[in-house]
Amino acid sequence: MNDPRSCDVVGIGFGPSNLGLAVALDEHNRGGGRLAGVFFERQEEFTWHRDMLIEGATVQVSFLKDLVTLRRPTSEYSFLAYLHAKERLIDFVNHKNLFPSRIEFNDYLRWVAGHFAHLVDYSCTVVGVRPVRHGGRVEAMDVTVRRGGPQGRLEVRRARNIVLGTGLRPALPPGTPVSARVWHSDELLTRISRLQGPPPRRIVVVGAGQSAAEVVEYAHRTFTDAEVCAVFARYGYSPADDSPFANRVFDPEAVDLHYAAGEDVRRMMSDYHRNTNYSVVDTDLIDELYRRFYQEKVSGRRRLRILNLSRVVEVLDTGDGVRVVVESLPSAELDVLDADLVVLATGYRESDVFGLLGEMGEHCLRDQRGRPRVTRDYRVETADDVECGIYLQGPTEHTHGISSGLLSNIAVRSGEILHSIAVRSGQSPRPAPASRNGSAAQAPTAALAAAGGRRDGAGPWEPGEEA
Ligand SMILES: Cc1cc2nc3c(=O)[nH]c(=O)nc-3n(C[C@H](O)[C@H](O)[C@H](O)COP(=O)(O)OP(=O)(O)OC[C@H]3O[C@@H](n4cnc5c(N)ncnc54)[C@H](O)[C@@H]3O)c2cc1C
């Protein structure tokens, strides 16, 4: 079937991953390709984790791991090209810093997104995907999109390939009652901006990962009369492993190794290197929190309380405050905190692939644990009668390793996905993205190493179980 109404690529979500794909698509078409693409994004405009754009927070990855450089160092959509366009290149160089602020990196991403506005429908939420059969085969998919808010009208777009780039989902402890005073860190800045009445006097922050530490720092700095209580099960915040050999776990080559390995070795790799990314905190931030903690001991005006080896056993919004019951793990003693706000920095989960795919999900193959089976080119394995392609940007940690949900590999992964789509569409693609043993990817990788890279992880995206 060659339905002219169907699009070669429909991207679901337009965060950094699918923005990277839009750049790769553009490169392909400028090189003589003819792939038509459209992206649907539920936000009204491009923003990267808008509620965690905390003043002073930095990106946990070198700027050289932008949307393009590791695939195509000469691209006009690199972070350096952005700095040049903004007339800040020399100032950035003088800054001697590989890790821009999140606010600046968001501005970079928005700058790139602005070049691709014609490919994106904002305020559009994809709500399901249905197979389109022809002659007994599934040759396309109908992507159902809700335009506008919950009452918005439904539209259908036909696709020969879809690429899911829907990001992470906030994870809340089971049974936690979300309210105006109790919410996930993913909503931080919006919720804070809506606060009414007198400033909070006590804020409880649950969690021990990067987001939790950032929220503690932010709350302590912003609400200068408030007590900030950090509650977590660990003894102390743990530093991220940002050493150079461990950081190689985020390299494009590590994806090959992870993919080729058996289940046991994959698990071993992930376990060994969890502390590059999960439930760990930037050392500078740990030091800053400790500095404040100690200074308050000296001054006697103590506002930063660390309730370590502890867990929250009850959260109750009483209408004019929140009652938080905290259990000390060694003694089992209970401490009742009357708080004004509770921020649950309890991590994120991968997106729900099958929930989004709906009917089309029935044609996808799963592994023994119910996760999608995925080929090396990030394509979901499907039943034999399916000819169209479903690609995943993100929820492939089980097959492609720890960098799946991060920025680290977007440039290379987007190129690989686009290459796969082009080949399957019968278009002679540009040369395959050189991600592994040579050519284009090597130069910037070496440059990064020479420049003394910090880790890619230490993310605020620690898994939900950590508190
Ligand atoms: C606070 C925070 C800071 C982080 N910092 C770093 C960092 O410094 N370095 C790093 O490597 N990683 C970091 N991460 C990890 C993060 O996953 C990546 O930075 C990056 O956002 C991944 O891009 P993405 O496009 O895959 O997902 P996202 O950025 O989450 O984008 C997904 C997009 O899909 C949209 N969407 C979702 N569902 C639908 C739907 N049904 N229909 C339409 N649109 C939809 C969402 O609105 C969103 O815009 C951070 C994560 C968080 C939460």
pLDDT for 435: 46
Rounded to the nearest angstrom, the distance between the alpha carbon of 13 and the centre of ligand 1 is 9
Which atom of ligand 1 is least distant from the CA of 393?
26
100 pocket-lining for ligand 1 (C-beta < 6 Å): no
Instruction: Indicate whether 270 pLDDT > 90.
Output: yes
**Is the domain defined by 172-240+278-344 classed in CATH 3.30.1360.20?**
no
**Nearest CA, atom 45, ligand 1:** 13
Confidence band of 80 (pLDDT split at 50, 70, 90): very high
Whether residue 167 has its Cβ less than 6 Å from ligand 1: yes
Confidence band, pLDDT 50/70/90 cuts, at residue 9 = very high
Q: In the numeric block, which tokens belong to residue 150?
A: 């919950």
Per-residue pLDDT at 414: 98
Report d(CA 196, CA 116) in Å as an integer. Answer: 38
Q: Tell how far the Cα of 130 is from the centroid of ligand 1, in angstroms.
A: 25
188 Cβ closer than 6 Å to some ligand 1 atom: no
The number of the ligand 1 atom at minimal distance from the alpha carbon of 125 is 42
Q: Give the strand pairing for 37-40 and 120-121.
A: parallel
- Which residue's CA lies nearest to atom 15 of ligand 1? 406
Does ligand 1 lie within 6 Å of residue 12's CB atom?
A: yes
The least confident of 137-141, 159-163, 174-178, 219-223 is 174-178
pLDDT at 431: 54
DSSP state of 278: T
* % of the chain surpassing 70 pLDDT: 90
CA 394 / ligand 1 centre spacing (Å): 9
The 227-231 sheet, strands edge to edge:
182-184, 341-344, 202-206, 227-231, 304-307
How many angstroms is it from 166 CA to the middle of ligand 1?
7
Atom of ligand 1 nearest to the CA of 20: 25
**Cβ distance 347 to 463 under 8 Å?**
yes
Of the chain, the end-to-end C-alpha distance in Å amounts to: 51
Query: Is the distance from the beta carbon of residue 182 to the nearest atom of ligand 1 less than 6 Å?
Result: no
DSSP of 190-254, one letter per residue?
HHHHT--SSPPSEEEEE--SHHHHHHHHHHHHHSTT-EEEEE-SSSSPPBP---HHHHGGGSHHH
| pLDDT at residue 91 greater than cutoff 60 | yes
Locus of tokens 């660390």: 306
Q: Is 164 in the pocket of ligand 1 (CB under 6 A)?
A: no
> What number is the average pLDDT over the span 17-30?
97
Q: Is 75 in the pocket of ligand 1 (CB under 6 A)?
A: no
Q: Identify the band that residue 3 occupies on the pLDDT scale cut at 50, 70 and 90.
A: low
pLDDT digits (tens, 9 = 90+) for 150-180: 899 999 999 999 999 999 999 999 888 899 9
CA of 226 to the centre of ligand 1 (A): 31
Per-residue pLDDT of 427-463, as tens digits, reads: 976 555 544 443 333 333 333 233 333 446 544 434 3
CA nearest neighbour of 230 among 281, 163, 274: 281
Q: Which of 304-308, 313-317, 442-446 has the lowest mean pLDDT?
A: 442-446
Q: What is the pLDDT of residue 4?
A: 59
Centre a 10 Å sphere on the Cβ of residue 436 and count the other Cβ atoms it contains: 16
Q: How far does the centroid of ligand 1 lie from the alpha carbon of residue 302, in Å? A: 36
Ligand 1 proximity of 20 Cβ (cutoff 6 Å) = no
90 against 441, higher pLDDT? 90
Residue 88 has pLDDT above 80, yes or no: yes
Residue 129: predicted pLDDT: 97
Q: Which residue's CA lies nearest to atom 41 of ligand 1?
A: 126
User: From ligand 1's centre to the CA of 301, what distance in Å?
Assistant: 39
CATH class for the region spanning 9-169+349-435: alpha beta
In this model, does residue 279 exceed pLDDT 50? yes
Average pLDDT over the chain, rounded to an integer: 91
Percent of the chain with pLDDT over 90: 88
Q: Is the CB of 408 under 6 A from ligand 1?
A: yes
Distance 304 CA to ligand 1 centre (A): 30
pLDDT band at 245 (very low <50, low <70, confident <90, very high): very high
Residues of the chain with CATH 3.50.50.60: 9-169+349-435, 172-240+278-344
Three-state DSSP state, 84: helix
pLDDT, mean of residues 112-132: 97
**Ligand 1: does its nearest atom lie under 6 Å from the Cβ of 80?**
no
